[in-house]
Amino acid sequence: MKFYVCKDCGYEHTSIVVYQRHMKAVHNKVPINTCKICSEKFKGNDEFDKHLQFTHGTNHWDLNLAMKQVLRDMKKLD
Ligand SMILES: [Zn+2]
Ligand SMILES: [Zn+2]
């Protein structure tokens, strides 16, 4: 399993979303998200969400993009 380790306190998280939530709640740090599609950088999840929705017509994260691809592939098999 892949862990996201907090550089400030060493706490391990199993998902990037939980990790970012930890950074914001515990250390008051806003995550920087890099768009995998156009390489633009965004402060915080909301800005990134909006960017994905309005610029690329998708609604969440590279993780979700990967999941969508899996679902698409599954549908193709039907
Ligand atoms: Zn921490
Ligand atoms: Zn983008």
Reported as a single tens digit per residue, the pLDDT across 9-58 is 999 999 888 888 898 889 988 878 888 889 899 887 788 888 888 898 87
How far is the centre of ligand 1, averaged over its atoms, from the C-alpha of 23 (Å)? 6
- Are 37 and 3 contained in the same domain? no
- Are 76 and 41 contained in the same domain? yes
- The whole-number pLDDT of residue 68 equals 56
How far is the centre of ligand 1, averaged over its atoms, from the C-alpha of 13 (Å)? 10
Name the pTM for this structure: 0.47
pLDDT, average across residues 47-71: 70
State how far the Cα of 34 lies from the Cα of 1, in Å rounded to an integer: 23
- Are 23 and 43 contained in the same domain? no
Would you say residue 66 has pLDDT above 70? no
**Residues 33 and 19: beta-carbon distance below 8 Å:** no
Task: Give the other-Cβ count within 10 Å of 20's Cβ.
Answer: 19
- Are 23 and 57 contained in the same domain? no
Would you say residue 60 has pLDDT above 80? no
CA angle 47, 30, 7 (to 5 degrees): 140
Work out how many domains the chain is built from and give that number: 2
**Amino acid in position 40:** E
How far is the centre of ligand 1, averaged over its atoms, from the C-alpha of 29 (Å)? 10
The dihedral through the CA atoms of 37, 39, 40, 43 has a sign that is positive
